[in-house]
Amino acid sequence: MNPFTKLKYIQSSKELLDIAFARASKLTLPKSKKPTHIRVREREIAKLKKVNEILTTRLEEVVKRFPNFDEIHPFYRTLADTVITIDEIRQALASVTSAIRIIRSIIKESIRKLRSIGTPNEARKLRSAAYGRISSVINRLELRLTLIRRAANEYRRFPSIDLDLPVIVVAGYPNVGKSSLVAILSSAKPEIAEYPFTTKKISVGHFPINSNEGQVLDIPGLLDRPMKKRNPIEQRAIAAIQYLADAIIFLIDPTLHCGFELSNQVALFQEITKVFVGFDIFPVLNKGDIASLNEIKIARSEFKRGGIPVINTLTDGDVDRVFRDIISRSEKIQEKLKHLLSQSR
């Protein structure tokens, strides 16, 4: 499951200061017969305490809502790292923690001084000086808060994947029909378009299986290039394969309508099988409605596999049969299903 769902909107420096100072200025103290200078002093102290409470609880909340990056599943850690590096986020969160400390010490010091101050004017001046120092501490955090907000917005939207349930990843070159396939196999409604690189984020769809649920993942298209040269979007796709896939459907467009050569798709397939040793990888030819017999024959021979099934996602009722066949041939999925069955007994 996505470990970042607790993240909320991260307020800006200005929003934090506005709310803290506004709440503090609305404070009303109980009526008292104490001399004016004492009452003013108490009021200024109460304001500082309020500002301290609001700022430190809100900033602590920002830090607390982030899970420990060392403890989350490597898939989510890798995904997070493709948005904003974990080092950067850690540094930003550390700056927030140290800002909390500084604010507390400013408040403490100011309250101590306020207690021994004589005139109301001096008390107000001292409190106002403390506000100034607090403002500059918070304003200095602005870039970090912006970074944390960006991370939180993206992290929160990561797909929620249940690792106890079977996971099938649909991989392949861009534009070969991966999203179209995921859309007909599952509850997912990914964007489908006639141009490559439509899918930029991983999405998950569910399908019923043996009174349980399976998950099928739509991932961004991959080009045939070394792992080191992959951009963050492709790195996400690779992370899904590496950490989540019980089985991989490698979807191929034999017609070249996707805009890429068959030789590139073959090279990608070879790369994936080389890198992900021991994974169940099932090549499937798509766009069977427009592929010629010759194109299918060439693809099968290039992939050095005779019986690669042919489907199409537009009209073909065979898709489900091919899918169920893959599920029955995937050892990892069968193991998971057996385990689920034994648990439900």
Ligand X SMILES: Nc1nc2c(ncn2[C@@H]2O[C@H](COP(=O)(O)OP(=O)(O)OP(=O)(O)O)[C@@H](O)[C@H]2O)c(=O)[nH]1
Binding segment toward Mg ion, per CB under 5 A, in 101-109, 170-178, 229-237, 266-274: 170-178
Residues of this chain, 190-219, that bind Mg ion according to CB under 5 A:
198-199
Q: Is 179 in the site for Mg ion (CB under 5 A)?
A: yes
In whole angstroms, how close is the CB of 268 to Mg ion at the nearest point?
15
Distance CA 217, CA 204 (A): 5
CB 173 within 8 A of CB 223: yes
Considering the complex, state which of residue 198 and residue 212 has its C-beta at the smaller distance from ligand X: 198
Binding segment toward ligand X, per CB under 6 A, in 102-110, 124-132, 193-201, 208-216: 193-201
Show the binding pattern over residues 137-176: x = contacts ligand X (CB under 6 A), - = does not: -------------------------------------xxx
Show the binding pattern over residues 208-247: x = contacts ligand X (CB under 6 A), - = does not: ------------xx--------------------------
In whole angstroms, how close is the CB of 222 to ligand X at the nearest point?
8
Q: Is 203 in the site for ligand X (CB under 6 A)?
A: no
Q: Is 313 in the site for ligand X (CB under 6 A)?
A: yes
Q: Which stretch of DSSP H or E encloses residue 186?
A: none
SS3 content of the chain, % helix, strand, coil (to 5): 55, 10, 35
Q: Is 110 in the site for Mg ion (CB under 5 A)?
A: no
Q: Is 184 in the site for Mg ion (CB under 5 A)?
A: no
Q: Is 18 in the site for ligand X (CB under 6 A)?
A: no
* Beta-carbon-side half-sphere exposure of residue 30 (alpha carbons within 13 Å): 0
In whole angstroms, how close is the CB of 313 to ligand X at the nearest point?
4
Residues in Cβ contact with 271 at an 8 Å cutoff, skipping those fewer than 6 apart: 224
Closest alpha carbon to 229 in 271, 269, 196, 260: 271
CB 204 within 8 A of CB 216: yes
Q: Is 312 in the site for Mg ion (CB under 5 A)?
A: no
In whole angstroms, how close is the CB of 180 to Mg ion at the nearest point?
8
Distance CA 38, CA 139 (A): 32
Residue 326 one-letter amino acid: I
Based on the number of CB atoms within 10 Å of its own CB, is 128 exposed (0-12), middle (13-18) or buried (19 or more)?
exposed
Residues of this chain, 267-296, that bind ligand X according to CB under 6 A:
286-287, 289-290
What is the phi/psi pair of residue 53, to 5°?
-60, -50
Q: Is 265 in the site for ligand X (CB under 6 A)?
A: no
In whole angstroms, how close is the CB of 145 to ligand X at the nearest point?
33
Cα of 152 vs its chain's centroid, Å: 8
Q: What strand order describes the sheet that includes 280-285?
A: 203-209, 212-218, 167-172, 247-252, 280-285
Distance CA 345, CA 136 (A): 61
Considering the complex, state which of residue 177 and residue 283 has its C-beta at the smaller distance from Mg ion: 177
In whole angstroms, how close is the CB of 238 to Mg ion at the nearest point?
16
In whole angstroms, how close is the CB of 189 to ligand X at the nearest point?
12
Which residue ranges make up the site for Mg ion (CB under 5 A)?
178-179, 198-199
Which residue ranges make up the site for ligand X (CB under 6 A)?
174-180, 192-194, 196-199, 220-221, 286-287, 289-290, 312-314
